[in-house]
Amino acid sequence: MRPPTRAPENRTDRRRAKTRQALIDAARTLIADGRAATASIADITATADVGFGTFYNHFDDKKSLFDAAIDQILEALGDHLETIADRTDDPAEAFATSFRHAGRLAIAHRQTAEIIDSYGFVLMESPTGLGPRAHRDLSAAVAAGRLHIDNVALATAITGGHLLALVHAWLADPTSVTEADVDASVETLLRSFGMPAAAARRLAHRTLEPLG
């Protein structure tokens, strides 16, 4: 959980920041439970264990709260993925490794998976999210001659489609999708994006360093 943008300066500020975060955490829980659309402000404040009136001290409406919750989730995931991209000069490797980590995170945490599943491509396209990163890495890999893609926007969408498919199948039956399936999926993607089979296999199964 990242700290609020402005560091709390005194006890009142700290309490205020804590309440705001409690509301955001409640929103994340409701998203994960598939209740984001139907939850009332009263449901949200009850879940957060704060007073009903408190809500409007922090957010204008339900939508602005849920937007804040999604932003926080995407920023955390984005921070993870940046540390990965920083470790390699090969954009194809950055792409493959980001996909493998994102897939692992998604099939390890039901809350993350529910959010990805319910938001779908909207999430993929968020400026703080996965889509722009995948687009950037794929473009760089083409420029570097590592991949051969005519339509990078379509390739990005297909990458998103694979991730969503893995998450969706896992939610339906958590025993049915494993980390090996995530790796097999990115191997398929790399081959369909023009990487020779042997290179794709190597890249998709390289030992993953833990997220730092």
Site residues for a second copy per CB under 8 A: 37, 117, 120-121, 151, 153-154, 157-166, 168-169, 172-173, 176-177, 181, 185, 188, 191-192
* Structure tokens belonging to residue 119: 């938001």
What is the rounded distance in angstroms from the CA atom of residue 151 to the CA atom of residue 1?
36
Q: Closest distance between a second copy and the C-beta of residue 46, in Å? A: 24
Q: Closest distance between a second copy and the C-beta of residue 119, in Å? A: 10
Q: Closest distance between a second copy and the C-beta of residue 3, in Å? A: 34
Cβ closer to a second copy: 10 or 151? 151
What is the rounded distance in angstroms from the CA atom of residue 29 to the CA atom of residue 40?
14
* Structure tokens belonging to residue 164: 């969503």
CA distance to 57, 96, 113, per residue, from 125 (Å): 30, 18, 16
CA 193, 194, 195, 197 torsion-angle sign? positive
Q: Closest distance between a second copy and the C-beta of residue 170, in Å? A: 9
Cβ closer to a second copy: 17 or 158? 158
Cβ closer to a second copy: 48 or 164? 164
Cβ closer to a second copy: 87 or 148? 148
Per-residue burial over 107-135, b = 16 or more CB atoms within 10 Å of its CB, e = otherwise: beeeebbbbbbebeeebbbbebbbbebbb
Q: Closest distance between a second copy and the C-beta of residue 114, in Å? A: 13
Angle at 123 between CA 151 and CA 103, to 5 degrees: 80
Q: Closest distance between a second copy and the C-beta of residue 86, in Å? A: 28
Cβ closer to a second copy: 6 or 63? 63
Cβ closer to a second copy: 143 or 153? 153
